[in-house]
Chains A and B, each alone.
Chain A
Amino acid sequence: MNEPTTGAPADATEIGRLEEVARQIRLAIVRSVYHAKAGHLGGPLSAADLLAALYFHVLRIRPDEPAWPDRDRFVLSKGHSSIGLYAAMAFRGYFPVAELETFDGASSRLQGHPDMTRLPGLDMSSGSLGMGISAAVGMALGARLTGRDVRAYVMLGDGECQEGEVWEAAMTAARYGLDNLIAIVDHNKLQQYGWPGDGPDGRIPPEVPGELVAKWSAFGWRVLEVDGHDMEDILDVLDEAQHPDGRPVVVIAHTIKGKGVSFMEGHYFWHTRVIKPEELAIALADLGEPLPATNGGAR
């Protein structure tokens, strides 16, 4: 699974492989958060397929040379989904998979929110929402000024788009025509708590349907939409995003918060929550890895 596949044809074999990577990322998210008794679930689970595609197919990176100057940059602006990123990086070979057990722990390189000074391969620290996209604008602009063929990718949450800085950055990127900048909005339709309404659990989504597309278009971006859980669709769109037309690109990825775990899907309160042992068993079974039977009993 650690083999680089950047540039490989997106055939059925490749898609199957990336889907398996995404499944492993989801398992690692659930296990790590269970182990840490802390961390976020809904956001990293909704982003897992996108992260698998990026780290195993799209990004031009060298895990054994994390500071390679010509690498593509990736900024997780929705830094609370850190465990999803760490899992993708570990499976890709940036650090031992066993280190995921240290997630959120004291002295860990895998801090609750990404800390670039601790973990080689993180292109930016993040966690305070709305900021990562500005840093990515700086990377894309910096690549242009230094003459490097580098793309800057940044992943945002849909709730995060409530931060004013996102739109400051959007205006700036369009003004400079940064077509080496690709933003991905993990549009999972739920934020931590949200507004009261008639949606799932009595809350309504961060954005009125279609509003995100209209907003990014109005700010001068090329807008692509994708089913964020359909690997073939994801690869197609991320490939299309790489063809420059003088505008920055945003991919609005329609996703499901908590994707892959039956009782978490679509429930805002699984944004961040401690997993109970009996819940872990269900989650792992949902992800195709039931716990081995113990004491002769069923789980």
Chain B
Amino acid sequence: MTLPMGRAMREIFGETVAELANDDPRIVMLDGDVGSSTRADIFEKAHPDRYLQMGIAEQNMLGVAAGMATMGLVPFISTFVSFAVVRPLDQIRVLIAQPGLNVKITAGYAGLFTGQTGMSHIIVDDMSIMRAMPGMVTVSPADDVEAARVLRWAAAYEGPCYVRLVRDATQRLFDDAYRFELGKAVVVREGRDVTLISTGSQTPRVVDAAELLAAEGIDAHVLHVPTLKPIDVPAIVAAAERTGRVITVEEHSVIGGLGGAVAETLSEHRPTVVHRIGLQDVYVESGPNDALLDIYGLSAARVAEQVRELLGRDA
């Protein structure tokens, strides 16, 4: 009934970028001294000459990446979301996004799963920040399969992009036939009663929540939105029209992220009430993954419970 576990996205990251570099001599890996965590060490083993330790100096690392991009190289960034987005934000803005340089901001440790690190390392608003930045494509894959597809897409894409990757193994949503397309959302469950829209590794838990709801006679439609920007307007409008009731679910702040993007989209194109499940303007404490999902209302059971409640409120 629940989706099976897949592999950890960080392993997919190290392996996939190493594989891509076999065929593309332009690819380099810039590591902020966390290669053993982000698994950039897998890349290092395969391509020691193109693995560049940048030390604990992330602002410089993003700037170096920009300079390398002007030399025709394709830098991938290895660090955590906290140090790939928030700390070097101005460097990303001025040196990468404004000039449109070909840097792959592939950030690990997205969401709540950070190895019990606490709030300094748990970034709740990276999607809000990055999708607001002009010129920055923002992608949040659901599982290991999609993460590999997204990394392949990123290597081929000419321009800056932000890819958020999860540290630990998460549930697998897609099979090998899955093809990622930038800016396209995917219906992962057909339903008639309520539309659940999710992104990242939250989507598998939403699919599980939909199964729990189905057992109670609530037939949920589930739309997975891997690309936060550019957002798939037609798919979101169609999903809203399908049931007339929209609830977004994200392992992220409800302010400005997926919930914000969906609310913006629908208020312009098909006014619909949008409820947003996610982090309610809070910082996240450290703790085991399952405990955090439960506390912050993001486990399948807690999502189902909130959906039930919201539907009751709407009815």
Contact = CB atoms under 8 A, between A and B. Distances in A.
A123 B70 contact: yes
B63 A127 contact: no
B158 to A, nearest CB: 14
Contact of A139 (B28, B71, B94): B71
Interface string B221-241: 000000000000000000000
Nearest to A77: B63
Interface string A134-146: 1111111111011
Contacts of A133: 63
B57 A124 contact: no
Interface string A14-48: 00000000000000000000000000000000000
A137 B67 contact: yes
Nearest to B75: A138
Nearest to B26: A146
Interface stretch (A161-169, A195-203, A279-287): A161-169
Nearest to A134: B63
Interface of B: 28, 49-50, 52, 54-55, 57, 59-73, 75, 90-91, 93-95, 98-100
Interface residues of A, number: 37
Given A164-B59, A169-B63, A172-B64, A125 B71 contact: no
Nearest to B63: A134
A2 interface: no
A165 B72 contact: no
Contacts of B90: 128, 131
Contact of B73 (A126, A145, A152, A164): A145
Given A126-B94, A134-B95, A141 B64 contact: yes
B64 A146 contact: no
Contacts of B66: 124, 134-135, 138
* B63, B72, B75, B91: most-surrounded residue (chain A CB, <10 A): B63
B67 A128 contact: no
A45 B165 CA distance: 48
A134 B68 contact: no
A181 B67 CA distance: 12
B64 A138 contact: yes
A273 to B, nearest CB: 25
5 contacts: A73-B70, A131-B63, A137-B64, A138-B68, A172-B57
